[in-house]
Copies of this chain bind each other. A is one copy, B any other.
Amino acid sequence: MFGQMMNTPLLISSLLVHAEKAHSRGEIVSRNPEGGIHRYTYADAARRARKLANALSTLGVQPQDRVATLAWNTHRHYELYYAVSGSGAILHTLNPRLFPEQIVYILNHAENSVLFVDAQFLPLIEKLKDQLPLLRHIVVMTPADKLPASSLPLISYEALLDAADDQYQWPEFDENTAATLCYTSGTTGHPKGVLYSHRSTVIHAMAAMAKDALGIGNASALLPVVPMFHVNAWGVPYAATAAGAKLVLPGAGMDGASLYELIDAESVDLLLGVPTVWQGLLQYCDKEDLMLEPVCDVVIGGSAAPISMIKAFHEKHDAFVIHAWGMTELSPIGTVNCRTQAMLEMEDDERFRLQAKQGRPVFGVDIRIVDDQGNAKPHDGVAFGRLQVKGPWIASGYYKQEGGKEWQDGWFDTGDVATIDEQGYMAIVDRAKDVIKSGGEWISSIDVENIAVGHPAVAECAVVGVPHPKWDERPLLLVVTRPDATLTKEEMLAFLDGKIAKWWMPDDVLFVDSLPHTPTGKLLKRQLRDEYQGVYQ
């Protein structure tokens, strides 16, 4: 027997319709790529999104067509979020930082015929256009009088909107309909597309609004520095809209000075972004002797927030770091390390250590850790296991790909190795491919690196698992010393002694001139494993 409840679909358009009715005066402030600050309300945005929906139809966009964007966080990008998905097409946000050949692959794989682009990225598209046979329309997100000269036929975003009617009825359809598409690029193979549905996006937005998730309310003023091309800016443009929060969009200005200016001028109390961005902001504030007065909370995800950053926000800016963990395949929120009563009663150092964990699952996400055979491991805070997740906003496959080894028994395998404690706190230990398997036990390469790098003579280091005749694998420590420092193997090992388990101690330490990195700065451990595979044989 079914309940007798309305069969109202969860649609992205309903978020903006709600904001227009209940939060008509809520503000969206954005730094324009063409200069200056743009400021309007949810009511204004809703009107322009309706115009844009009509304009998409003029451009020949059909339901379920993929409409591409290559743009920063701006009010125009925000309008595309609603107009494209709301009208039944699929918003496909592209990361301009990818290699040009990846951008070509993705645009062709998604069969994009319409692209919305910030003027800044136009030269890139001009260079690639010959390899994009399906692309019919290029809309530059700028007023008509700012349209750059180009070899390509261009449309001005503002001219397109000026010509469009502001009356539009958002269509109603199945909530499982595809809404947005975002590609994730690993270190190997082609980028893989994650295809979100209206249902997953709206449920994820509701989860994000919970007091203990992102805690977004109508009195919040929030600055998502996480780009709108990166997992829908963590879903913030949806949650902020449902809540009627003041949404501050930084445009291309993600340096410390630009961010500080916006935070100060707009009384931003909630920041969201990756550690790199905050490093820049903290350094700028130190240099200029400034305090982030209005900021209460800083949500940090994307990669692990170091304790030093958690501490700096607390001690210098009286701001609380909410550590979060997610992935493109998770829409992205998986776990959040929110304030608890217990935390507020802790000494600073104890709390910092707890805050450095990735947090507990938000309601909707189920997590577990398993061994290589898929057997569940205990949640005791000690046992390592492959982290697996399931829930209504987690991918069930990749766009236009069959099967996928990442899915087993209804769980998605994250490729991370983690611990989970009795209270549900998850801590990422390592990437599964980097964890060192020694005599049936697992060693975290990251944990050893984090301690080794604390030696004053060490500039950078890497720990990799190397084949070993007796133990399968044993750790090898590679060290780049500081230019003016000297360090011996014995000194290095003596420094580690007592700080890690005896059997975690690297069997050898090698000194190298440099370590290989990906273009985004990650260590290329695969290359190191290949290079040093023979050292213990």
Instruction: Please state if A363 and B242 are interface contacts (CB–CB under 8 Å).
Output: yes
Closest to A365 in B: B18
- Could you tell me the distance in whole angstroms from the C-beta of A81 to the nearest C-beta in chain B? 15
Q: Which residues of B contact A344 (CB under 8 A)?
A: 219
Complex CA–CA separation, A17 to B219 (angstroms): 32
Interface check A105, CB cutoff 8 A: no
Q: Which of A22, A64, A338, A360 has the most CB of B within 10 A?
A: A22
Chain B CB within 8 A of A423 CB: yes
Whether the pair A3, B176 counts as a contact (CB closer than 8 A) is yes
Given A2-B178, A194-B4, A396-B7 in contact, is the A422-B219 Cβ separation under 8 Å? no
With A22-B423, A363-B18, A379-B21 known as contacts, the answer to whether A396 contacts B4 (CB < 8 A) is: yes
Q: Are B196 and A394 neighbours in the complex by a CB distance under 8 Å?
A: no
Known: A3-B197, A177-B1, A179-B3. A18 touches B210 (CB 8 A): no
Q: Is the CB of A360 within 8 A of B5?
A: no
The 6 tightest CB contacts between A and B, nearest first, are A3-B197, A22-B424, A211-B217, A242-B363, A5-B200, A209-B210
Whether a CB of chain B sits under 8 angstroms from the CB of A198 is yes
Inter-subunit contact A18/B366 (CB<8 Å): yes
When each residue 191-221 of chain A gets 1 if its CB lies under 8 Å from chain B and 0 otherwise, what string results? Answer: 0001111111001001101111001111110
Q: Is B196 a contact of A206 with CB atoms below 8 Å?
A: no
Is A399 part of the binding interface, using a Cβ–Cβ cutoff of 8 Å?
yes
In the bound complex, what is the Cα–Cα distance between A215 and B395 (angstroms)? Answer: 29
Q: What residue of chain B has the Cβ atom nearest to residue A244's Cβ?
A: B212
- Cβ of A275 within 8 Å of any chain B Cβ, yes or no, is no
In the bound complex, residues from chain B placing their C-beta under 8 Å from that of A397 are 4
Is A23's beta carbon under 8 Å from chain B? Answer: yes
CA distance A65 to B367 in the complex (A): 32
CB distance from A356 to the nearest CB of B (A): 18
The one of B198, B206, B361, B399 in contact with A203, judged by C-beta atoms closer than 8 angstroms, is B206
Nearest Cβ distance between residue A93 and chain B, in whole angstroms? 15
B216 touches A3 (CB 8 A): no
- For A209, the chain B residues whose CB sits under 8 A away are 209-212, 363
Q: Which residues of B contact A178 (CB under 8 A)?
A: 1-4
The reply to whether B25 and A423 contact each other, CB–CB distance below 8 Å, is: yes
User: B residues within 8 A CB of A390?
Assistant: 6, 8
B3 to A196, Cβ gap below 8 A? yes
Is the C-beta of A341 less than 8 angstroms from some C-beta in chain B? yes
A328 → B minimal CB distance (Å): 12
Which residue, A216, A339, A360, has most C-beta atoms of chain B within 10 A?
A: A360
8 A Cβ contacts from A330-369 to B:
331, 338-341, 344, 360-361, 363-364, 366-367
Task: State whether the Cβ of A15 lies closer than 8 Å to any Cβ in chain B.
Answer: yes
Whether A10 sits at the interface, judged by CB under 8 Å, is yes
Q: At the interface, yes or no: A102 with Cβ under 8 Å from chain B? A: no
**Interchain residue pairs with CB less than 8 A apart (10):** A4-B197, A4-B395, A6-B394, A8-B391, A15-B363, A21-B367, A21-B424, A212-B218, A212-B243, A219-B340
Question: Once the chains are docked, how many angstroms separate the CA of A341 from the CA of B269?
Answer: 13
Residues in B whose Cβ lies below 8 Å from that of A422: 24
A442 within 8 A of B: no
Contact for A211 among B207, B211, B364, CB less than 8 A: B211
Q: Is A498 an interface residue (CB 8 A)?
A: no
| A18: contacting residue among B17, B361, B392, CB under 8 A | B361
A6 contacts B211, CB within 8 Å? no
User: A393 touching B5 by the CB < 8 A rule?
Assistant: yes
Instruction: From A216, A341, A367, name the one whose CB has the most chain B CB atoms within 10 angstroms.
Output: A341
A211–B217 CA distance with the chains assembled, in angstroms? 5
